[in-house]
Structure 1
Amino acid sequence: MEEIRNAILAGASGEELGALPLPESYRAAFVLREEATMFEGQASEEKDPRKSLHVGEVALPELAPDEAYVAVMAGAINFNTVWTSIFEPLPTFGFLDRLGKESRWGARHALPYHVVGSDASGVVLRVGSAVRNWKPGDRVVIHCNYVDDQDPTAHDDSMLAANQKIWGFETNFGGLADLTLVKANQLMPKPAHLTWEEAAINALCNSTAYRMLVSPNGARMTQGDRVLVWGATGGLGSYAVQHVLNGGGIPIGVVSSPEKAELLRDLGVEAVIDRRAKGYRFWKDEHTQDESEWRRLGKDIRALVGEDPDIVFEHPGRQTMGASVFVCKRGGTVVTCAATSGYMIEYDNRHLWMRLKTIKGSHFANYREAWDANRLICEGKVLPPLSAVYPLEQVGEAAYQVHHNLHEGKIGVLCLAPEEGLGVEDPELRAKVGEDRITLFRRHGA
C-alpha cells in the first residue's frame, strides 16, 4: 500500500496505477465477531467504540466482475459506524451472514471481522471485467447503496430492492481502510475543488438529505416551503438546510447551543431555535409526553417564519416525533430517516389524521439521487460540513465523538492520505466558492 500511496501522491497515470501489484492484505478498521457481546448489560451511552474498533491488517478479497478496488485516501464517521461499534440495535454480523448465503460473491463478506465505514474518497486501482464507466486512476467518491441489479425489485427505485443493503454496515469491506471493494454503481466523481477529507464525508448524509427533501421519492420540497430541521448543524441537518436554501425554501434550524446557532446563521439560515436555551421538555417522564411543550415549540416557529412548517426533517426519533407531528402544517409532511434517540416512536394520532398530515419514511438514496446530490457538491452549491479530522489509528476516538454528539457536521478520517489539505485539482473553483465558506464548519469546530 505504501507504493500505491506514493504513486497516487506523485500523480501517477491510470496505466501506471493499474500496473502496480496489489497487496495480499491492507490496513482497516473493524469489529470482531467474537466481541459482539462485550457490552452486554451496559447502557448505550456507556458503550465505548474505542474498545471495540480495531485497526489492523485484513486479507484482500477477490474482485467480482462488477466491482472495483479503490485506494481510500479518506473516509468518514457516520452513525451506522457507531451502531456497528457498539453492536446496537444488534450485531452487524447477522447482516454479513445473510449476504453470505446469497451467492459465491456474497460469501466473501461473512467473516470473523467486519470492516466498517460507509463514506470514502479515493482512486480506482482495478475494475472487474464487467465494469464499463470507470478505470484505474479515476478519482472518486463512494456512495453506500449496495444493490443487486439482477433482482427485478431493484428496477424503479433501487432503495425498494428486496436485498438492498448499506455498504460498510450491512456489507463487509467498508471505507475506513486503506483499500476498499465496491460495486461499480457505487462510484461517483470526486469534487475536484475539495481535499480528500472534504470530499470523503458527503455521500451518505448529503444523498440522504437530498432524497428526503428534494427527490420525488421524498417530501417534494418547493419554493417557499418552510422546513423544520432538527439537529441543523449535524451530519444530516447541515446538508438539509443547504438543500432548503438552494431550493428557495425557508429552513428553521433547531440546534442546542449559541455557538451552533451562530454557525447556522453564518451558513445563511435566518430562523434558528436554540432548544437548550428554550428548555423544551417534550416528555414529562419516561412514559408521558407534554402537549403544552409541543404548542410552545409551534408558537416559537410561527414567531420566526409566520406559519407552521410545511415539512419537518425528522431524524432524532423518540424524543422529537410527537412534537414533529404536532407542529407540522395541516396537510404537511414529516419525513424521517432515523431514530438516534430511540426507535419506539409515540405521537398523538389525532394530530395526524384530523389534519391530514403524512409521515414518510426515507432511507439513503438511489444511484440517480446520490449522483445528483454529488453534482451539487462538485459545483460548489453544497458545502462539506467537515468539522474535525482524525487519522485511521484514532478511528475509535472519532466514533466516540459522534456517539456522544461532541462535534458539528461530519468527522473525516485520513486513510492513505498522509496529511490534510491534499487532493485539490481545481483551485480556481475553490477560490470561487470561497475558502472561508468551504472551511466554515472546521473553523467553528476549532
Structure 2
Amino acid sequence: MDEIRQAIVHGDYAAAASLPVPESYRAVTVHADETDMFEDMAPADRDPRKSLHVDEVPTPELGPGEALVAVMASAINYNTVWTSIFEPIPTFTFLRRYGRSNPLAKRHDLPYHVVGSDLSGVVLRTGPGVHVWRPGDEVVAHCLSVELEGPDGHNDAMLDSEQRIWGFETNFGGLAEIALVKATQLMPKPPHLTWEEAASLGLVNSTAYRQLVSRNGADLKQGDTVLIWGASGGLGSYATQYALNGGAIPVCVVSSPDKAEVCRAMGAEYVIDRSADGYRFWKDDHTQDPKEWRRFGTRIRELTGGDDPDIVFEHPGRETFGASVYVARRGGTIVTCASTSGYEHQFDNRYLWMNLKRVIGTHFANYREAWEANRLVTKAQIHPTLSTTYPLEQTGHAVLDLHRNVHQGKVGVRVLAPAEGLGVHDHELRERHLKSINRFRSTP
C-alpha cells in the first residue's frame, strides 16, 4: 500500500494502478463477537472508540461490475455511529441477509464488518463488464448498492428490491485503504477539491439533494420557506445551500451560537438557536408539549413575516417530529430521511389530515440524483462543509464527535492521504471559491 500511496501522492495514477494489489489492507471494523458489549448501556452512553478497530483484513475478490479503489480519504456519517453502537440492531444482520441473496454476496457475510459509506480515491482494478471506468481514474463514490435484476428499481433505483447502503448494509466500506464498490457507485472527483473535501460529499450531499430538490423528495421551488433542522450539520449544511441556491428561504435551526454564525455565513438570514430559546418539545419521556410547538411556530412566523414553512427538512426524528408536523403550513410537506434522536415518532394527526399536509419518506439518492449533486459541486455551486479531519487510526474519535453532536458540518478521515490539502488540480476554480470551501474549517 505504501508504493500505491506514493504513486498517487506524486500524481502518477497510472503507475499506482499498475502495481500489484496487496493481499490485505488496513480497515476500520466492528466485530461480530462484540455486538453485546454495550448491552446494559443506553445508546447515548456507548463509546464508539471501544467497538471500532483498525485491523488488517484480506482483500476481497473482485466480481463482475465492481471496482477496487485505493481510498485516499473518507468521512463519517451517522450510519457509522449506529454501526459502532450496534443500534438499533447489529449490522451483521444485514450482512447475513445479503450473503444469502446470491453466491457472490457471500463474500460480505464475515465475522467483521469494514464500515464507511464515503470515499475519494483512485481506481486500482475493475471487474468484468466495467467499461466506463478504468484503473487510474480519480473518483468519489456514492453509497447506493443495487442489483436492478427486477423491475421495481427501473424508474427509481432506490426502489430496487435489493437496494442497500454500501458500508452499512454491505461489507468492504470506505473507512479502509481499499474499498470494494459497484462501478455504478463511481463519479468523477471534483478537481478543485482536496481528497478529504471530496470524500465528505457523497452521502450527505446526495441525500440532501433528493430530500429537498428532487421530485422524489420535496421538489423545492423558488420562494419556498424551508425549515431545516440541524442546519449546520452534515445534512443540514447541504440543505441550507440547496435552499439558497434554489431561491428558497431557509429557516435554520441550530443548537449553539457558533452553529448559528456558520448558517449566517452561508447566507441564511433566519436562524433559531433552539438551546438559547430553551425549546423543550417533550415534557417527559412519554408526553409532548404542544405549547412548545406553538411557541416554536410563533418564532418562525416572527422571522419570516408571518409565513409558515412550505417544507420541513426532517432528520432528528422522535425529538422534533411532532413539532415539525405542527409548524408546516397548510398543504405543506414534511420530508424525512432519518431519525437520529429515535425512530418511534409521535405527532398529532389532526394537524396532518385536517390541514392536508404530507409526510414524505426519502432515503439517500439514486445514481442520477447523486450524479447531479456531484455535478453541482464540480461547478462550485455547492461547496463541501468539512470542518475537521482525523487519521484512520483515530476514526473512533471522529465517530464520537458525531455521536455527541460536537461537530460542525462533516468530519473527514485521512486514509492513504498522508496530509491535508492534496489532490487539487483546478487551482484557479478553487481560489475563486476558497472562502466558501473553507467556511466550516474556520469555525470552532
What TM-score range do you get, normalising by the shorter chain? over 0.9
State how 1:40-439 maps to structure 2 within 5 Å. 40-306=39-305, 307-433=307-433, 435-439=434-438
Cα offsets for 1:91-149 (capped at 9, x unmatched): 00010011111112100000010000001100011111200110011111000000002
Secondary structure of 1:30's counterpart equals strand
Could you tell me which amino acid in structure 2 is paired with residue 5 of structure 1? Answer: R
User: Could you tell me how far 1:25 is from its partner in structure 2?
Assistant: 0.1
Matched, 1:23 2:50: no
| CA distance in structure 2 between the partners assigned to 1:187 and 1:13 by the alignment | 16
TM-score, with structure 1 as normaliser:
0.98
Contact 2:83 2:90 in 1 (8 A): yes
**Separation in 2, partners of 1:347, 1:54:** 39
Task: Kindly provide the CA deviation profile for residues 130-182 of structure 1, in whole angstroms up to 9, marking residues without a partner as x.
Answer: 00110011111000000002232221101111110000000000000001010
**1:263, distance to aligned residue in structure 2 (A):** 0.9
Q: Take 1:255 and 1:18, find their aligned partners in 2: how far apart are those partners?
A: 44
Task: Tell me how far apart the structure 2 counterparts of residues 246 and 105 of structure 1 sit (CA, whole Å).
Answer: 42
Q: Distance in 1 between matches of 2:259 and 2:179?
A: 34
Q: TM-score, normalised by structure 2?
A: 0.99
Q: CA deviation at 1:17?
A: 3.0
- Aligned residue identity for 1:346: Q
Separation in structure 2 between the aligned mates of residue 285 and residue 53 of structure 1, nearest angstrom: 33
SS at match of 2:322: helix
Letter in 1 for 2:144: N
Code of the residue aligned with 1:250 in structure 2: it is: I
Q: 2:321–2:346: 8 Å Cα contact kept in structure 1?
A: yes
Q: Distance in 1 between matches of 2:223 and 2:58?
A: 52
Look up the equivalent residue of 1:271 and give its one-letter code: Y
SS in structure 2 opposite 1:442? coil
1:358 Cα offset (Å): 0.2
CA contact (8 A) 2:3 2:16 kept: no
Deviation at 1:27, TM superposition (A): 0.5
**Partner SS state of residue 214, structure 2:** coil
For residues 414 and 210 of structure 1, the distance between their equivalents in structure 2, rounded to whole angstroms, comes to 25
The DSSP-based 3-state class of the residue aligned with 2:124 is strand
- CA–CA separation in structure 1 for the residues paired with 2:94 and 2:88: 12
Segments of 4+ in structure 1 off by > 3 A? none
Contact 2:5 2:16 in 1 (8 A): no
Paired residues of 2:125 and 2:135 also in contact (CA < 8 A): yes
What is the alpha-carbon distance in structure 2 between the residues aligned to residue 26 and residue 431 of structure 1? 35
User: Whole-Å Cα distance in 1 between the matches of residues 45 and 298 of structure 2?
Assistant: 36
Report if aligned partners of 2:281, 2:292 keep a CA contact under 8 Å in 1: yes
Shift of 1:287: 1.3
The superposition leaves residues 356-380 of structure 1 with CA deviations (integer Å, 9 ceiling, x where unpaired) of 0000000000000000001111111
For residues 401 and 258 of structure 1, the distance between their equivalents in structure 2, rounded to whole angstroms, comes to 18
* 1:337 positional shift: 0.5
Q: For 1:281 and 1:395, how far apart are their aligned partners in 2? A: 33
Q: Is the contact between residue 13 and residue 137 of structure 2 (CA under 8 Å) also seen in structure 1?
A: no
CA gap of 1:87–1:13, structure 2 versus 1, over 3 A, is closer
1:186: Cα distance to partner?
Answer: 0.1
Q: Residue 32 of structure 2 aligns to which amino acid in structure 1?
A: R
Q: Secondary structure at the match of 2:440?
A: helix
Q: Deviations over 1:290-320 (max 9, x none)?
A: 1111111111111111200000000100110
* Shift, 1:396, TM fit: 0.6
Output the amino acid matched with 1:172: N
Number of aligned residues:
443
Question: CA contact under 8 A between 2:63 and 2:127: conserved in structure 1?
Answer: yes
Q: Cα distance, 1:13 vs. partner?
A: 4.3
Deviations 1:46-98 (A, max 9, x none): 11100000002000000011000100000000000010011000000010011
2:254 and 2:260 in contact (8 A); partners too? yes
Query: How far off its partner does 1:11 sit?
Result: 1.7
| d(CA) in 2 for partners of 1:229, 1:45 | 23
Q: Where does the alignment leave 5 or more consecutive residues of structure 2 unmatched?
A: none
Deviations 1:371-390 (A, max 9, x none): 00011111111111101100
In the alignment, the residues of structure 2 paired with residue 9 and residue 412 of structure 1 have an alpha-carbon distance, to the nearest angstrom, of: 18
Residue identity matched to 2:8: I
* Aligned-partner Cα distance in 2 for 1:261–1:19: 48
The Cα of 1:45 is off from its aligned counterpart by: 1.3
